[in-house]
Structure 1
Amino acid sequence: MHPTNLEKTLSDLKSHLTGKSFPHEIGIFLGYSLKDVIGFMGWAPLPFTCQGPWKIFGDPYQVSG
């Protein structure tokens, strides 16, 4: 992802959507907490703590990103 280049980021997301696997990073675009997206993707050792409309990792009251 390229947070400083919106057009490149959207282009990358589009190519991921047409790829073989679902791009879980789309949660960032949908407004999910960055820590929850990172935890779901397994990029950080955050424990799964509860589930609301999406899976919540780490402190459910801590919002990031």
Structure 2
Amino acid sequence: MYEQEANDYVLGVTDTLRVDLCLRANVLTGIRALNSQLADDQQIRIHLADLDSPLPAIHLHLQR
């Protein structure tokens, strides 16, 4: 649900981290700092999965 917003933040597209991602702020900010030192094709992107989802749904999400 918030994957695009997380990626926009870690890739430097936006400086705003939505409040719904606040529990992940330290990790996302660390990835953002690392990404600022990497070439575009080397940057880390975020994939979020709902751990309450069934395993097949999580696999499908990660494959996309």
Report 1 or 2 for greater relative contact order, CA contacts < 8 Å, sequence distance ≥ 6: 2
Counting strand residues as a fraction of each chain, which structure ranks higher? 1
The alignment's TM-score, normalised by the length of structure 1, stands at 0.28
The alignment's TM-score, normalised by the length of structure 2, stands at 0.29
Counting helix residues as a fraction of each chain, which structure ranks higher? 2
